[in-house]
Structure 1
Amino acid sequence: MYEQIILTGIMLTLVGCLFGTRLKPAWLFVGAIGTSYLTGLIDLESMLVNYANPSLITLILLILVSVAIEKTTLVQKLAQSLAKGSLSKSVMKLGLSTAFLSSFTNNTAVVASLISAIKDSPTHSPSKLLLPLSYTAILGGTLTLIGTSTNLIVNGFAVDAGMQPLGFFDFTLVGLGALFVGLLTIMVMLKYLPDNGKADQEVVPFYLEGKVQAHSKLVGRTVEENGLRDLKDLFLAEIIRGERRICAVTPQQEILSGDVLLFVGDIKSVPLLTRFDGLKIVHDKHEKDVEHLVEVVVSQSSKYIGKTVKEVRFREQFHAAVIAIRRGHDRLQGGLGQVQLQAGDSLILAPGNQFYALPNLKREFVYISGLDLQTHLKPKQSNLVLISFVTVLGLSILDIVPLVKGLLVLLVALVFMGTIKVNELKRRFPIELIAIVGSAIGLAKLMIGTGLAAQISDALFFLLGDFGPYGAFIAIFVMTVVFTELITNNAAAALSFPVAYALAAGFGVNPLPFVMAVAFGASASFISPFGYQTNLMVYSAGNYRIKDYVAMGLPLSIIYSITVLTLIPMVFPF
């Protein structure tokens, strides 16, 4: 009883922080399992062994091997084919190809590899392709055991709970059904996506900053007197005066020396702002480069995610000045230097001469206007990588060589041949994923071992008992979908699995349908740009609003859910 009370407090704090704070899930899960150790709920050896879970090791190796697969001509050829044919044909080709690639490789890597080609497509607007790209990458991930980190993590939970390991193609029948109806839904809803390539489309709001110099003629005059009210395609949103923020700027607001003026509007209007005497938009040596601006999209693998532009010391690191930031259509607050970078943020830079020669551009950005960031292997190397990877998967499927062994040998061989550099492995090593998954497995074991999961199950059984196992199965799926939209997919799986397993035990039925409900529910992030990494990556790149995700994602989520809830009990009976 004592252990249940402590663990309940830890789990409630974890859930509260996941939903109510911006702290990284990795820190929260490590904090939760660390507190469990300090309070005596788990010993050190039992805690550490969870970070060496076979499913987690497999996931790490897959992520690292995918570094080589990204460089193959397979992704390159797919990117080149997207420009050919009508929009519906391009979306269908993109969807099927992306789903296939995502079923065997890391889907964030697939999306990152294609963003640049899609943004530079001469035929179709990026906003018509990027959201379907993200959605089909998610759907493709549900096709196999290794298609998404969620499936491997849920398999790890299942094995630790005493179940048989899930097979490579156990997910495939349900996943194919979800992919089929998902693609049809995307094709039908395609007309509702914005066409941000049209000339008459409303301007995409960037977030620009200008500082009033002491000698400026703007000083001592009001916003209206300075002509700052009626700027074409620009809106003066805020003034920062020292530590004070002045929002809802009035025409009578006086401009003082040192004021930082924050504008929202079209990046093409930057030259207009430079005409105002003493209003400094781009600093130092970059000031003359406003006609040669560069757009970049922050990568999911950037080491600067979560840090402010000021903390990054952007000018020193990249020899470029950040003059504008956009995060979808979100309004950002405070000075540019105080904005915390996120994956998918679009930055407008005024680059110095050394910018293009920097070696870390490919690591930090998935897109740079006018630049191909992909490192492509020669055809022979590319074919060798693909054949080797398929061979490893085949040997695993046939139970000849365990997947973890095959991937380890392949990774060592790729590094030895120089196909993957050691620095690339360091950059892509998924520390945060290891922290979340290893901690989550430990917490799941504790919830089951202390009986807390059974207590929660009993409460849910009291509420759902009249609806039978199928009603409880639906409830678990819906709970997981809500979690994955509000937090992360892996965290959602971690929170839902112990309850799902205990519910199945309470009803005395096969736990596999409940386990599958968690796996497919945790992959059902379609309604929000923030629930899944690939959704966030295309948010700014496609110039989307949140309503665009809702307009396409809500029908897709409903149809996906109905399909999955119908197929799982048919394939995995209670």
Structure 2
Amino acid sequence: MTLEIVLVFLALISMITALVMDRMRPGMILFSVAVFFLCAGIITPEELIDGFSNKGVITVALLFLISEGVRKSGALSVLIRKLLPEKDTTVFRGQLRMLPVISVISAFLNNTPVVVIFAPIIKRWAEKVKLPATKFLIPLSYATILGGMCTLIGTSTNLVVHGMILSAGYEGFTMFELGKVGVFIALGGIIYLFLFSSKLLPDRRDGLKEGESINRLNLVEAVIGPRFPGINKNLKEFNFERHYGAEVKQIKRAGHTFSSNREKVRLKEGDTLVLLADETFVPTWGESSVFVMLANGHDKEDSEPIGRKRRILAILLLILMIVGATLGELPYTKERFPNIQLDMFFFVAVTTVIMAWARLFSPRKYTKYISWDILITIACAFAISKAMVNSGVADLIASRMILLSDYFGPHFLLAVLFIITNIFTELITNNAAAALAFPLALSISSQLGVSPTPFFVVICIAASASFATPIGYQTNLIVQGIGDYKFTDFLKIGLPLNIITFIIAVFLIPIIWPF
């Protein structure tokens, strides 16, 4: 075992430990590891910055803006209100109307804005029809994750793996290629939620009523975002009222509510704060990246006047982008336009520019709609993946895995790779998990002499299938605070869904993409 292999192993163990302990933002952790590899001579400066210029990474950044344009158009808010039954209903009927549609929407939009828009509306609707919101919020998050598995742009993980595939010299995924297996997983997952979510999810109602007026003040729920300046500080160290003109009444985290002892709690990203604020708080901070979501209990469709033409334009541009990217991958199109690469990146870039000039999102504030930590995480993931290849770590792990599978063949290794990737995505982040698994997929397929495509696909599915914990996916963190869920609530309903995803993926992927 060479010194480079030892250094890479130690760095990867340290990285995973730091991510699990949540000592700092994932992007900075991965960047630190990438710089360490640079200093050790394991990667070159060009290999370090290669990820920052990757088309997949830039596509992810532009999709944040497109999702913001659709969100600002008001189309999603109008849609969810029309989907929700107005009269008394049941949990099953409510889920039946919303979950399939939410999955379809999240196949083409970033999951986070979908959950941010839908969660407070669904919570208020559930209170109105006298059903526990806890029966709907985790299924909301899971539906967006399931939908994201079905297309190339459904989740950043798919684009990350797609970018790595292109960098390795292979042909990437087409728009709906992952849907060949993703649709079956989504259908299986949604049916599972229909049948078992009512029994497995808690029947709790929040005792604190949103929108309750106290001396002309309202109770507001605010989910802390990555740019909140008081992260890792308690309320004694960070004067929230002086910064934002609102008083923190409760802090919700992992199913626990801190009220009397809230002054000692160190604030973390994803915490839900129950605030006592005036009517200017939501309009003032609603466009800020300090908070991921704000909800004040008001459910007025005209609270933010948005023209019908803007909604139609946003949806039309989204459809044209999807159709254009799909047709652009056809051989006929490539022959007719040999000098223009009409791929996903092309149509995403064009759609972003049109949305900016049409002011579907603010062109002066466009940088704040992009989650820079996710982009840095993805870009550094490319460098870490390259270090695993350069040092020989990927080949070493792959050869040991192959020795264990002499009697089972590539199907066994496909299952092992799914489990490894899925465990990583539950403990750290989906993009970091994909980065660690990708070089293993390359080495395994190369040493076995089989097609790498089944292994690439299984990474996409396993890295997205974050159901068993709230920490692996941001949408899970958001609904955890809003629904006041405990960690065990996710484990109880999510672990069987992980197993369902595993079974469908490992069975179907070798059939659709033979070794």
Question: TM-score, normalization: structure 1?
Answer: 0.79
Residue aligned with 2:256, SS: coil
Aligned counterpart, 1:546? 487
The answer to whether the aligner puts 1:381 opposite 2:388 as a matched pair is no
Aligned counterpart, 1:92? 96
> How far apart in 2 are the matches of 1:356 and 1:474?
47
> How far apart in 2 are the matches of 1:180 and 1:305?
41
> Cα offset for 1:143?
0.3
Give the residue type in structure 2 aligned to 1:387: L
> Cα offset for 1:481?
1.0
CA contact (8 A) 1:92 1:183 kept: no
Moved more, 315-324 or 406-415: 406-415
Higher relative contact order (CA 8 A, sep 6+): 2
Aligned counterpart, 2:17? 16
In structure 2, the CA distance between the partners of 1:427 and 1:375, relative to structure 1 (3 Å rule), is farther
How many pairs are equivalent?
489
> Cα offset for 1:116?
1.5
Q: CA RMSD in A?
A: 2.6
Q: Which runs of structure 2 are paired with 1:337-356 in the superposition (5 Å)?
A: 337-352=263-278, 355=281
CA contact (8 A) 1:71 1:376 kept: no
Residue aligned with 2:405, SS: helix
Unaligned residue ranges in structure 1 (runs of 5+) = 198-203, 205-265, 269-287
Q: 1:298 aligns with which of 215, 219, 223?
A: 223
> How far apart in 2 are the matches of 1:126 and 1:520?
28
Residue aligned with 1:71, SS: helix
CA contact (8 A) 1:480 1:522 kept: yes
CA contact (8 A) 1:30 1:435 kept: yes
Q: Which runs of structure 2 are paired with 1:164-183 in the superposition (5 Å)?
A: 164-183=171-190
> Cα offset for 1:476?
0.5
Q: Which runs of structure 2 are paired with 1:92-491 in the superposition (5 Å)?
A: 92-121=96-125, 122-123=128-129, 124-192=131-199, 193-197=201-205, 289=214, 292-298=217-223, 300=225, 303-304=228-229, 306-310=231-235, 312-330=238-256, 336-352=262-278, 355=281, 358-360=284-286, 363=289, 364=291, 366-371=293-298, 375=304, 377-399=306-328, 401-422=342-363, 424-491=365-432
Runs ≥4 residues deviating over 4 A? 288-293, 299-302, 331-335, 359-363, 372-376
CA contact (8 A) 1:299 1:537 kept: no
In structure 2, the CA distance between the partners of 1:333 and 1:445, relative to structure 1 (3 Å rule), is farther
Question: TM-score, normalization: structure 2?
Answer: 0.88
Deviations 1:448-501 (A, max 9, x none): 233221011112222233221111110000111111111111111111111122
CA contact (8 A) 1:319 1:354 kept: no
In structure 2, the CA distance between the partners of 1:560 and 1:299, relative to structure 1 (3 Å rule), is same
Unaligned residue ranges in structure 2 (runs of 5+) = 334-341
> Cα offset for 1:292?
4.6
Deviations 1:82-129 (A, max 9, x none): 134543122022111111111001011111110111111012331111
> How far apart in 2 are the matches of 1:70 and 1:353?
22
Deviations 1:50-82 (A, max 9, x none): 211011111111111110111334312332121
The answer to whether the aligner puts 1:39 opposite 2:53 as a matched pair is no
Deviations 1:32-55 (A, max 9, x none): 111111222222233212211011
Residue aligned with 1:404, SS: helix
> How far apart in 1 are the matches of 2:91 and 2:348?
38
Residue aligned with 1:422, SS: coil
In structure 2, the CA distance between the partners of 1:567 and 1:353, relative to structure 1 (3 Å rule), is closer
> How far apart in 2 are the matches of 1:342 and 1:487?
16
Residue aligned with 2:406, SS: helix
In structure 2, the CA distance between the partners of 1:334 and 1:356, relative to structure 1 (3 Å rule), is closer
In structure 2, the CA distance between the partners of 1:466 and 1:550, relative to structure 1 (3 Å rule), is same
> Cα offset for 1:375?
4.9
Residue aligned with 2:408, SS: helix
> How far apart in 2 are the matches of 1:423 and 1:486?
37
